[in-house]
Structure 1
Amino acid sequence: MKTARDRRDSRWDTHREQRRVELVAATITAVRRHGAGVGMDDIAAEAGTSKTAVYRHFRDRTGLYVAVCETVAKVLVGQIRKATDREFGASGRGPRFALSEGIDAYLRLIESDREVYLFVVHRPLLDPAVHAADPVTDLVAMIGDHVAGVIAKQFRRNGHDDPARARSWGHGLVGLVRGAADDWITRPDGTTRDELTARLTDLAWAGLAGPAPSPEVTA
């Protein structure tokens, strides 16, 4: 009898996980349809269920929001990894192009899914009274760790092993790109994605290549 119960529990675990995936997908669709300020009523309607049913799978709005952030993070990190790995491959063009492609992958997601990005960054469903880890900080840290890994790998190819420096540079790069991207998407001034990618690549690459001489030294 215990084995039978275990099997039933396992089947229900699979069903619950699948339902969670479906509800996250419905939430993202609702965000795209109604904008970053979407409410729980719109999300439940998109999922074809009630708010109570949604909360049964995520406990509360914060749980659903965190699940959406995790999904967005996986997509974003996957796209950045694919872009940088391609340029570091045998037929790639090298580290500067890998940097440019990684930045462009980040900006491309923001540009193509603006409302989802704003939903994640502005935290409309996050209850400020709940003292929990910030999902956005976790997302940025995840991307920073990946970029640090890419830099560390390049260090080793060049005969160096400096994980602390790679970590600082990786998280610093992500902060640079995120700050510029947030301003670009919320206060558009006509700058295209290609233009912003080029500007950030130039700035980041100059920093990675070594500090430029000060005006006094140049003089």
Structure 2
Amino acid sequence: MNMTVTDGRTTRWDEHNAQRRRDLVESTLRAIRRHGPGVGMDEVAAEAGTSKTVIYRHFGGRTGLYTAVVESVHEFIWSRLRHHISGAGPLEPAELVRELTDTYLALVERDPHIYQFVVTRPLGESSVEDPVTGITGRIGNEVAEAFRAWLRSEGLDPRAANTWGHGVVGFVWAIADKWITTGHQRPRADIVDFTVRLFEPAFIHQQPTPRSPERTAS
């Protein structure tokens, strides 16, 4: 009986800590929007209405908080892609590229400070996974799975999926970086369209050519 009570209290405490971490990440995102990508821990603590000691207790320092923000950005991007991918059947590759590009650029357009924060690793603390490699690697794996599903549905060799998934994500991340450094000189819709037009012919080329009845029977 005591074990059950203890386990219940532990579970509630873990849930409380998880929620507190989520709240602190949201406060950090607000602080980044307010103060820019170089936001300090004092500013984050003020935005959260707490002390740096509390933040350190939950994240172990700026590196831990940074990692949690990166994870939040990854979930933001993938949750929006998942909405389009989880339809009745495999998403057409060109549409997947369109949604991926638009989602990335929407983040850059809406939250340029957060984008810059994510792509700048904190200095002076323990090593941390490269942000670009971390996010693009995970999303690349997920996009590759979507490509793999489409290839299989078309009766095509699925081995191209990893190359396509990671290649497209890396390409989109690169143009997002260029787009923000040039001050969004072209509308987002144009960049999305240019990207789809580049990749779409390659996907069309992959589609199997219908056979005539005579050749099918032979």
State which of 95, 103, 106 in structure 2 corresponds to 1:105.
103
2:199 counterpart letter in structure 1: A
Residues 1-219 of structure 1 mapped to structure 2, 5 A cutoff: 1-85=2-86, 89=88, 94-123=92-121, 126-127=122-123, 129-162=125-158, 164-188=159-183, 190-210=185-205
What is the distance in 2 between the residues matched to 1:22 and 1:53?
A: 12
User: How many residues in Structure 1 have an aligned counterpart in Structure 2?
Assistant: 205
2:56 counterpart letter in structure 1: Y
Q: 8 Å contact 1:103–1:177 — kept in the other structure? A: yes
What is the distance in 2 between the residues matched to 1:66 and 1:93?
A: 31
What is the distance in 2 between the residues matched to 1:71 and 1:99?
A: 22
Change (3 A) 1:23 1:188: same
- State the 1:209 CA deviation: 4.1
1:68 counterpart letter in structure 2: V
1:113 counterpart letter in structure 2: D
TM-score by length of 1: 0.84
- Deviating beyond 4 angstroms after TM superposition, the runs of 4 or more aligned structure 1 residues are none
Q: CA RMSD in A?
A: 2.3
Give 3-state SS (helix, strand or coil) of 1:98's partner.
Answer: helix
Q: 8 Å contact 1:84–1:102 — kept in the other structure? A: no
- State the 1:93 CA deviation: 9.0
Runs of 5+ unmatched residues, structure 2: 207-218
Q: 8 Å contact 1:80–1:106 — kept in the other structure? A: no
